[in-house]
């Protein structure tokens, strides 16, 4: 041991530190503590903060703290500390700086040893210690590579986890979208019956004891006839438009559904007042679409929770039952109307035969009256009374014949604007003499239509004349027309007293009139002409706001309509003649 100790030779730096330690012990320990703390802080510093150092700044800062500790600790071996600190610095340093940092640390360690003490085998020790520095550098390089690979793997795993979460979220959204699509009607986007029931169950589960929920089932009663007459595409457009208008006009919290083709279900929360308000809104939507698009008639059934039903299934079942009752009532009413029309048809055919048989004798009677009046003064004084009455009967018979005998329609493609202006020119003087105003409201662009111009002119003249005759004071009759998709809509509007509600259903019946004069055949003939053209006509008359006749006509006639003919039929004439000869 003594020989080993003597193998060391102290140098000037050792003496300086020893003397400083002896003379200033407090300052010495303060400096040593500060250097130790600085080294520990630098070693355990976060990597993000290490990256903020300038190039080689972190390495030099650690080296300065390490050198300060090495100088202040005199003869204490520092090799292990150097290697540990070198390994830490190399792991945190760029790969390009590893050789440089290793050389700096090794050189600094050996220079401090030379300034402090010298061993007799110092050269061999330098070689072995340099080998240790190189070995530590190699180990640090492998650790750094492993750390980088681990970091890449971690980042890749995080990326894969994020992608997995995104895929799971997309799958969840896709699954929810499929479920929502399954609940929706393909045409209108409203809920189907299954989706509507789910929404009802959720809503009823949130209902408190003092809250009510109402279901309204709507059925378009004549929708099959619309599809048969105008085609499936037109029917689909009507359904989409109805769904859009219901969604637009009803409150946002209302639940809407379409099922069984032409039936709709509506669910709403609220008291009886809210139900009445909802029914009024539905009626307004239906009336608006009937005026604009000729939407068919409808019926509805309602049910309320918890007053009338205790579950969603029972609520729908009850509303469906009431809808079925209403549908049956309408079917019975239609059957009754059909039987009534059949009777009227028979009467009309009888009247046609009767009219033909009466017209010939009337002509003879009129001639004999004129001859007798020329020969006899006694007959002459009655001529002015008899002849007008014969003419009146003859005019009445002509009206009967117009209703029962119609000529085939002669379809042509013409300018509707010009035809309406011709009607205006024809009737404007009469309106002026009556003290009324006749106004036209043409569309922006010209409207062309395929129809029988003479028959259509007859309809418009009849409607305008009726409007003028309904005005008691100075009033106005308006004609509006426009093109909408594949149809033309004509409205004849007056500011008269309107039509009583009890007369709505009979307004187009033959022989029905609300005036003190006339035959009551005009509107019936108008309805037949419009129907022969593949269109329809209906009337609206809000109380005190006049009357509006709505005419819907196709722009182009169907092949079936073009090939259809309306021959003169006198089915009752033979039997009537046999009756007359008996």
Mean pLDDT of the chain: 76
Range 193-310: architecture per CATH: 2-Layer Sandwich (3.30)
Instruction: Give which of 195, 215, 213 is closest to 265, Cα–Cα.
Output: 215
Parse the chain into domains and list their residue ranges: 2-153, 193-310, 337-404, 412-565
Q: Tokens standing for 298? A: 């409808």
The per-residue pLDDT for range 212-267, each reduced to its tens digit, is 888 888 888 777 777 776 777 777 788 888 888 888 888 888 888 888 778 888 88
Residue 568 has pLDDT above 50, yes or no: no
Strands (E), 330-386: none
What is Dmax (Cα atoms) for the chain? 185
Q: What is the pLDDT of residue 13?
A: 60
Q: What is the pLDDT of residue 201?
A: 82
CA dist., res. 377 & res. 554, Å (int): 60
Q: Report CA Rg, the chain.
A: 52
Whether 533 and 477 have beta carbons less than 8 Å apart is answered as no
Whether 395 and 522 have beta carbons less than 8 Å apart is answered as no
Between the ranges 93-107, 183-197, 387-401, 458-472, where is the mean pLDDT highest?
458-472
Instruction: Give how far Cα 515 sits from Cα of 74, 125, 467, 511, 518, Å.
Output: 133, 135, 12, 11, 7
Q: What is the pLDDT of residue 330?
A: 78
Angle ∠(539,482,290) on CA atoms, nearest 5: 35
Looking at per-residue confidence, does 281 or 3 come out higher? 281
Q: What sections of 219-311 are H helices per DSSP?
A: 223-230, 232-249, 272-293
Residue 457 has pLDDT above 70, yes or no: yes
Percent of the chain scoring above 90 in pLDDT: 3
CA 450 to chain CA centroid, Å, is: 34
The per-residue pLDDT for range 320-372, each reduced to its tens digit, is 888 888 888 877 777 776 776 666 666 666 666 666 667 667 777 777 777 77
The per-residue pLDDT for range 505-538, each reduced to its tens digit, is 777 776 666 665 555 667 878 888 888 888 888 8
Give the strand pairing for 476-484 and 437-441: parallel
CA dist., res. 464 & res. 477, Å (int): 7
Percent of the chain scoring above 70 in pLDDT: 80
Looking at per-residue confidence, does 119 or 150 come out higher? 150
Strands (E), 96-221: 117-118, 213-220
Residue 31 has pLDDT above 60, yes or no: yes
The per-residue pLDDT for range 369-421, each reduced to its tens digit, is 777 777 777 777 777 777 777 777 777 666 666 655 556 778 888 888 999 88
Looking at per-residue confidence, does 278 or 566 come out higher? 278
Residue 570 has pLDDT above 50, yes or no: no
pTM: 0.47
Q: What is the pLDDT of residue 582?
A: 35
Whether 302 and 216 have beta carbons less than 8 Å apart is answered as yes
Across 77-86, 287-296, 448-457, least confident range: 287-296
CA dist., res. 386 & res. 544, Å (int): 42
Per-residue DSSP letter, 75: T
Q: What is the pLDDT of residue 480?
A: 92
Please state which CATH number belongs to domain 412-565: 3.30.565.10
Span 477-485, average pLDDT:
87
CA 89 to chain CA centroid, Å, is: 65
Residue 115 has pLDDT above 70, yes or no: no
Determine the length of the chain. Answer: 582
| Residues of the chain by 3-state class (helix, strand, coil), percent to 5 | 65, 15, 20
Q: What is the pLDDT of residue 343?
A: 66
The per-residue pLDDT for range 488-503, each reduced to its tens digit, is 899 998 888 777 776 7
Residue 250 phi, psi dihedral angles, 5° rounding? -80, 155
Across 513-522, 533-542, 553-562, 567-576, least confident range: 567-576
CA dist., res. 218 & res. 299, Å (int): 6
């Amino acid at each position: 041991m003594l020989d080993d100790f003597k193998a060391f030779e102290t140098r000037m730096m050792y003496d300086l530190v020893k003397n400083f330690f002896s003379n200033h012990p407090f300052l010495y320990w303060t400096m040593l503590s500060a250097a130790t703390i600085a080294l520990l802080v630098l070693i355990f510093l976060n990597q993000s903060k290490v990256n903020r150092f300038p190039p080689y700044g972190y390495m030099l800062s650690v080296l300065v703290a390490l050198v300060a500790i090495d100088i202040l600790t005199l003869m204490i071996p520092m090799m292990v500390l150097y290697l540990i600190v070198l390994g830490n610095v190399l792991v945190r340093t760029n790969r390009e700086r590893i050789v440089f940092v290793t050389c700096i640390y090794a050189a600094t360690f050996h220079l401090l040893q030379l300034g402090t003490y010298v061993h007799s085998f110092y050269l061999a020790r330098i070689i072995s210690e340099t080998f240790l520095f190189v070995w530590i550098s190699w180990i640090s390089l492998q650790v750094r590579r492993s750390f980088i690979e681990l970091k890449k793997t971690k980042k890749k795993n995080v990326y894969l986890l994020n992608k997995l979460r995104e895929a799971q979220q997309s799958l969840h959204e896709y699954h929810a979208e499929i479920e929502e699509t399954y609940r929706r009607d393909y045409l209108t986007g409203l809920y189907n019956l299954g989706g509507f029931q789910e929404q009802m169950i959720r809503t009823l589960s949130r209902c408190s004891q003092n809250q009510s929920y109402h279901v309204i089932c709507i059925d378009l009663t004549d929708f099959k006839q619309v599809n048969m007459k105008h085609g499936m595409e037109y029917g689909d457009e009507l359904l989409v438009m109805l769904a859009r208008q219901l969604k637009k006009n009803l409150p946002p919290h209302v639940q809407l559904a379409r099922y069984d083709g032409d039936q709709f279900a509506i669910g709403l929360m609220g008291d009886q007042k809210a139900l009445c308000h909802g029914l009024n809104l539905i009626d307004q939507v239906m009336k608006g679409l009937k005026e604009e698009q000729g939407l068919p008639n409808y019926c509805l059934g309602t049910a309320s929770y918890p007053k009338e039903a205790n579950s969603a299934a029972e609520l729908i079942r009850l509303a469906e039952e009431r809808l079925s009752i209403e549908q049956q009532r309408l079917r019975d009413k239609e059957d009754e109307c059909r039987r009534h029309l059949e009777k009227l048809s028979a009467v009309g055919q009888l009247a046609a035969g009767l009219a033909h048989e009466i017209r010939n004798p009337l002509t003879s009677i009129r001639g004999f009256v004129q001859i007798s009046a020329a020969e006899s003064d006694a007959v002459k004084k009655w001529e002015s009374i008899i002849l007008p009455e014969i003419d009146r009967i003859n005019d009445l018979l002509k009206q009967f014949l117009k209703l029962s005998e119609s000529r085939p329609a002669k379809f042509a493609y013409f300018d509707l604007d010009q035809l309406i202006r011709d009607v205006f020119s024809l009737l404007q003087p009469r309106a002026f003499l009556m003290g009324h105003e006749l106004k036209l409201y043409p569309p922006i662009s010209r409207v062309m239509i395929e129809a029988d111009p003479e028959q259509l002119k007859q309809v418009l003249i009849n409607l305008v004349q009726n409007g003028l005759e309904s005005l008691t004071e100075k009033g106005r009759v308006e004609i509006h027309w426009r093109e909408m998709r594949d149809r033309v809509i004509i409205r004849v509007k007056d500011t008269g007293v309107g039509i009583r509600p009890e007369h709505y259903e009979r307004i187009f019946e033959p022989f029905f009139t609300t005036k003190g004069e006339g035959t009551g055949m005009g509107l019936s003939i108008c309805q037949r002409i419009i129907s022969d053209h593949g269109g329809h006509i209906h009337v609206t008359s809000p109380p005190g706001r006049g009357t509006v006749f709505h005419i819907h006509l196709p722009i182009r006639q169907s092949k079936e309509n073009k090939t259809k003919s309306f021959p003169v039929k006198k089915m009752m004439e033979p039997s009537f003649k046999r009756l007359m000869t008996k």
